[in-house]
């Protein structure tokens, strides 16, 4: 319930008729007070007894000899007719309730009318001042209402110190955790001394919910922008957490910027309907002010909210400084963004593409300038061919951004208006080591080539240069080898590196097999030695332990044999495909040019690699009845195989 102080005891007899007020106390009025468009027909004695200013003005009006009633004009009274009505009600001694909503007007009007203690104790200045100092600062909502009422009389409220009083009280209460203080949020007569909830005076044992940190956001969001700005600055000066300040700014922006409530704006028609006339100007001012007040710490403001602000800035056509600052903020924490956060509509007048590609390019550049991990890394974390037994590297921010950027490129690739150079520029924005795998960029390139079938061969090859075939997974290589949209040179590269991947996988299988056999032989030998030392008799082929180990080894050898057969079959298929493609190239008229290009790129390795493949596969062929190689032999063969694929 709102706090109030009741003054006076007489029933109110003021009656309004149109633009005039009358006092129906039974006595005819003897003066007229005009306040702007309203006329008050009142009595002289109650007014001069409480107001020094009215006493002087009525004395001057009475000195002018006239048969008409004295008339006093108070057009510049703060608060207008409503404030004068409060003062007149107090002068007559009628019932008057001072509340947080009207006390500021009453205080300013009392100061203007000189209703101080010189004319008697308990005048309106003292009563309203007492309410402001003792009642309003005790409750956050009441204090916010009082500050909101200052808007109509702002210069006078500033001069009387009312605004500063409210700001200090709001800042103090907002910075105090209500969960620790039990005030003003948790105070309730329905709680036991222990804090549990009561039902019919009996403790239920249930605990009340803790208050949220955003309990004051809605109260301050009703303030006009200048007062809201001062509230935020007052809280910041008192050490309010940046997260709370950012939350209050977000709540205020959502309430005053309709564009923030729609995540999927993107047409020029929608942007023209954002605001009309002064409303659009006010929204611009709100957005620029909110951006200026946002904390600068990384992660305090979510990327979703920053993206919404940037989208609104584009719709409202705010200044370049505001948009650049929002882009920089997004770049600072780009690794936390989602794909939807980057799908910013292109609202420029040329509107070449559906999404603003240039904006994302600038955001990525900000990220590279601000992200220290990207600057500190100078070498690649390793390709997928460094060994299948290696654990994947820990994702750094630049690697997370690379994944996000590849997903963004795949999303914008179907746009027929997206030029190859712009696509290429954005794809090359990140350093080479940022991508652990190039499957994402391959997918984006494939989508782009499918949406732009008219591209020339050299343009296709230029796009494919940003893709490292060594970083493609086996599944991506298989898809790319059959992709008719890729240039022929790229397909040959993919086939070459796919063969390398298969050879690496085969070599790793041998390494695992050699290692497991060596460990098993060592464990059997240790077991035999232990049994002999214990005095146990070991039988030849009749021992249960030896038979069990031998059966397990046979099963594992059989499994490895099946896997090896599958890999050899795939290698043979690739060799046939390469031979067929080489025959087709020879039939073309540009055989020399194409073959010289492939030879230059491969460095002469491709043909020799195919020859070594057959020899290596033949040497590594495992016979079903072949004995397990010794550890020494395994080590040598492992070295020989590793050098053949280097």
Residue for token digits 């007489």?
A: 10
pLDDT tens for residues 64-116? 766 678 889 999 999 999 999 999 999 988 888 899 999 999 999 999 999 98
* Buried b / exposed e along 590-620 (16+ C-beta atoms within 10 A): eeeebeeebeeebeeebeebbeebeebbeeb
Rg (CA), the chain: 42
Whose structure tokens read 């550049």? 365
Pairwise CA distance, residues 174 & 235, whole Å: 7
Q: Any residues with CB less than 8 A from the CB of 529 and at least 6 apart, and which?
A: none
User: pLDDT band at residue 14, thresholds of 50, 70 and 90?
Assistant: confident
DSSP state, residue 337: -
Count of other CB atoms within 10 angstroms of residue 223: 19
Please identify which residue in the block is written with the tokens 């990384």: 298
- Pick from 181-190, 401-410, 456-465 the range whose average pLDDT is largest: 401-410
Pair 146, 162: CB distance under 8 Å: yes
Helix (H) or strand (E) holding 16: strand 14-17
Compute the half-sphere exposure of residue 266: CA atoms within 13 Å on the CB side of its CA: 11
Task: Give buried/exposed letters for 568-583 (b at 16+ CB in 10 A, else e).
Answer: bebbeebbebbeeebe
pLDDT single digits (tens) 348-366: 777 689 999 999 999 999 9
pLDDT for 526: 56
pLDDT confidence tier of residue 302, bands split at 50, 70 and 90: very high
Judging by DSSP bridges, how do beta strands 71-73 and 38-42 pair with one another? unpaired
Q: Quick one: average pLDDT of 549-556?
A: 59
CB 35 within 8 A of CB 81: yes
* 3-state SS, one letter per residue, for 347-395: CCCCCCCCECHHHHHHHHHHHHHHCHHHHHCCCCCCCHHHCCCCCCCCC
Measure the CA–CA gap between 12 and 97, rounded to whole angstroms.
Answer: 12
Check residue 475 and give its pLDDT: 87
Q: Which residue has the tokens 């694929």?
A: 645
Lowest-confidence range among 13-17, 344-348, 566-570?
566-570
Specify the pLDDT at position 118: 84
Return the SS3 of 591. Answer: helix
The whole-angstrom separation of Cα 15 and Cα 539 is: 121
pLDDT beyond 80 at 436: yes
C-alpha dist (Å) from residue 569 to 381, 574, 617, 644, 645: 32, 9, 11, 20, 19
Contact call for residues 402 and 435 (beta carbons, < 8 A): yes
Alpha carbons 213 and 243: distance in angstroms, whole number: 9
Tokens of 266: 């993107």
pLDDT per residue over 19-63, tens digit each? 888 887 778 888 999 999 999 999 999 999 999 999 999 888 877
pLDDT higher than 80, residue 627: no
Calculate mean pLDDT across residues 196-225.
70
Interatomic CA distance for residues 290 and 37, integer angstroms: 38
Can you say whether the dihedral through the CA atoms of 107, 112, 116, 120 is positive or negative?
Answer: negative
**Widest Cα–Cα separation across the chain:** 143
Continuous H helices in 482-543 = 488-533
**Which two structure tokens, joined as six digits, stand for 241?**
């957490």
């Amino acid at each position: 319930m709102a706090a109030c102080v009741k003054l006076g005891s007489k029933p109110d007899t003021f009656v309004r008729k149109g633009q005039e007020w009358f006092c129906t106390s039974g006595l005819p009025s003897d003066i007229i007070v005009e306040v702007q468009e309203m006329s008050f027909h009142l009595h002289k004695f109650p007014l001069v007894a409480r107001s020094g200013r009215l006493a002087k003005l009525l004395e001057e009006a009475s000195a002018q000899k006239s048969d008409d009633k004295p008339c006093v004009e108070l057009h510049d009274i703060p608060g207008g007719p409503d404030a004068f009505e409060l003062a007149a009600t107090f002068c007559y001694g009628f019932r008057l309730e001072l509340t947080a909503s009207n006390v500021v007007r009453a205080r300013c009007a009392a100061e203007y009318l000189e209703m101080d203690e010189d004319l008697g104790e308990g005048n309106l200045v003292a009563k309203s001042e007492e309410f402001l100092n003792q009642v309003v600062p005790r409750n956050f909502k009441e204090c916010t209402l009082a500050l909101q009422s200052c808007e109509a009389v702002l210069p006078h409220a500033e001069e009387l110190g009312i605004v500063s009083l409210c700001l200090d009280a709001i800042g103090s209460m907002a910075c105090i955790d209500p969960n620790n203080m039990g005030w003003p949020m948790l105070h309730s007569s329905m709680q036991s001394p222990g804090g549990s909830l009561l039902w019919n005076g009996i403790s239920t044992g249930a605990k009340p919910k803790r208050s949220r940190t955003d309990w004051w956001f809605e109260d301050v969001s009703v303030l006009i922008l200048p007062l809201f700005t001062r509230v935020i600055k007052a809280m910041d000066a008192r050490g309010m957490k940046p997260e709370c300040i950012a939350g209050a700014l977000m709540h205020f922006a959502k309430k005053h910027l309709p564009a923030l409530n729609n995540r999927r704006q993107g047409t020029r028609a929608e942007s023209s309907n954002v605001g009309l006339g002064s409303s659009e100007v006010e929204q611009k001012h709100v957005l620029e002010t909110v951006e200026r007040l946002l904390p600068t710490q990384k992660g305090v403001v979510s990327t979703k909210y920053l993206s919404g602000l940037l989208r609104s800035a584009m719709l409202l056509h705010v200044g370049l400084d505001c948009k650049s600052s929002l882009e920089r903020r997004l770049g600072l924490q780009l690794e936390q963004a989602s794909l939807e956060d980057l799908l910013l509509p292109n609202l420029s007048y040329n509107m070449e593409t559906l999404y603003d590609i240039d904006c994302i390019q600038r955001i990525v550049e900000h990220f590279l300038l601000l992200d220290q991990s990207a600057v500190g890394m100078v070498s690649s974390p390793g390709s997928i061919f460094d060994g299948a037994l290696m654990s994947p590297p820990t994702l750094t921010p630049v690697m997370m951004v690379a994944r996000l950027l590849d997903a963004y490129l795949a999303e914008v690739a179907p746009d027929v208006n997206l030029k190859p150079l712009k696509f290429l520029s954005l794809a090359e924005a990140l350093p080479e080591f940022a991508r652990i795998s190039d499957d994402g960029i391959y997918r984006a390139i494939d989508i782009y080539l499918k949406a732009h079938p008219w591209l020339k061969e050299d343009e296709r090859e230029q796009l494919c240069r940003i893709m490292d075939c060594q970083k493609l997974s086996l599944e991506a290589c298989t898809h790319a080898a059959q992709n008719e949209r890729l240039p022929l040179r790229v397909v040959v590269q993919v086939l070459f590196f796919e063969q390398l991947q298969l050879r690496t996988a085969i070599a790793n299988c041998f390494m695992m097999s050699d290692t497991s056999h060596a460990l098993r032989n060592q464990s059997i030998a240790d077991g035999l030695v232990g049994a002999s030392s214990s005095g146990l008799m070991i039988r030849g082929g009749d021992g249960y332990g030896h038979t069990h180990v031998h059966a397990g080894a046979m099963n594992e050898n059989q499994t490895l044999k099946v896997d090896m057969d599958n890999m050899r079959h795939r290698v043979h298929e690739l060799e046939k495909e390469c031979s067929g493609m080489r025959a087709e190239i020879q039939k073309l008229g540009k055989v020399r040019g194409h073959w010289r290009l492939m030879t230059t790129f491969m460095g002469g390795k491709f043909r020799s690699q195919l020859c070594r493949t057959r020899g290596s596969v033949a040497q590594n062929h495992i016979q079903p009845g072949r004995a397990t190689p010794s550890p020494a032999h395994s080590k040598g063969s492992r070295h020989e195989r590793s050098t053949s694929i280097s």
